[in-house]
Amino acid sequence: MGLTDIKKELKKIDKDKLINIIADLYKTNKSVKEFFDFYVSPNERQLFNKYRDKVFEAFYPKRGFKYKLKDGKQAISDFKKLGPSADLLADLMLFYVETGVKFTNDFGDIDEVFYSSMETTYVAALTLMRKQDLLDKFADRASKVVSDTSDIGWGFHDYLCDAHSNFYSDYSDDTDEETEQQQKGKFTELDGR
């Protein structure tokens, strides 16, 4: 069924029955409950803190030692679905990368898949920040992520330097014009420009 079909069917249902269906969904489906709780009483900061904790726990679980990037990415995705402000979404995305960098600095080099996840999320966060005119607000944190990776391998630091300089041109070293054009071309696909 498509959305149009669902809407047609819902219009056929009387109001009381529709309320009961939504109430059942609310009771049995955690994501529906969270959506309606946020819809009725939107407390973005409280919701942000909840998802921030989920991201942190993906790297530093309360039990065991295994990090779960999938859980951290899922927390960002779930938070985004609730329709938060771009400011808080960018904050959560950047927090994911910051926590991944801290994790690496705490435990040593990880692997290429791990760094790819950090790189993709970093570029996505900067892209969102640029679209929403938030780059200045997050400039210090975005720079700190890059400086905190200086001793990390796998080309991770170099990639973040390039990405950062693509979004924050004031940060870039005195590179020649050709190198700058190569960097911009490298991130064109990732940031959608």
Instruction: Give the residue-averaged pLDDT of 164-182.
Output: 60
Model pLDDT for residues 2-36, shown as the tens digit of each residue: 888 888 888 888 888 888 888 888 888 877 777 77
**pLDDT, mean of residues 43-62:** 93
Instruction: Kindly state the tokens that stand for 24.
Output: 């059942």
Q: Using CA of residue 175, residue 181, residue 184, residue 186, what is the dihedral sign?
A: negative
Angle, CA of 105, 108 and 111, to the nearest 5°? 110
Per-residue model confidence (pLDDT) at position 189: 46
Q: Mind giving me the DSSP string for the chain? A: --HHHHHHHHHHS-HHHHHHHHHHHHHH-HHHHHHHHHHHS--HHHHHHHHHHHHHHHHS-SSSS---HHHHHHHHHHHHHT---HHHHHHHHHHHHHHHHHHHHHH----HHHHHHHHHHHHHHHHHHHHTT-TTTTHHHHHHHHHTTTT-TTTHHHHHHHHHHHH-TTTS-S--HHHHHHHHHHHHHHHT-
Residues 133-155: tens digit of each pLDDT: 999 999 999 999 999 999 998 89
Q: Name the least confident of 22-26, 127-131, 149-153, 168-172.
A: 168-172
pTM (2 decimals)? 0.74
For residues 115 and 98, the answer to whether their CB atoms sit within 8 Å is: no
CB atoms within 10 A of CB 187: 19
Cβ atoms < 10 Å from Cβ of 25: 14
Mean pLDDT of 76-97: 94
